[in-house]
Structure 1
């Protein structure tokens, strides 16, 4: 993968460890944390649809699996928090 494309996909974060991304499935709208380092696509746990990581929005990036649950909760609040309170 070209260096510029890699930086665009993974940001400027050091790539020494595993990077997890928080994504929203464009088909079923399920929010989930996935490993994005070195992967081209992922399978949604909700609808089983495969999506290319380079084509979807990565809402947040974290370095450890312990941070994934908290990051997913933050994205859920950001994306649907306002709608549920109305």
Structure 2
């Protein structure tokens, strides 16, 4: 897995976790259930790479940076598209 793919998978993982959290907090059952699939797939891919024999500080840094970007993105997307639709 290249660092770019790791960053993308990490982004999906943290985005889905943040998006699911917002949906749970706002009672959006369908959206919360749907994000579980993406969380499971991305967690398996990320942890396989992060804990692999060749993993190191670079992989951890890529994971952390992608996660920071993803959580803010999830909050913004949910607020703009989901929360307004439910209101």
TM-score (norm 2): 0.32
Which structure is higher in helix share? Answer: 2
Q: If you compute each CA radius of gyration, which structure gives the higher value, 1 or 2?
A: 2
Higher relative contact order (CA 8 A, sep 6+): 2
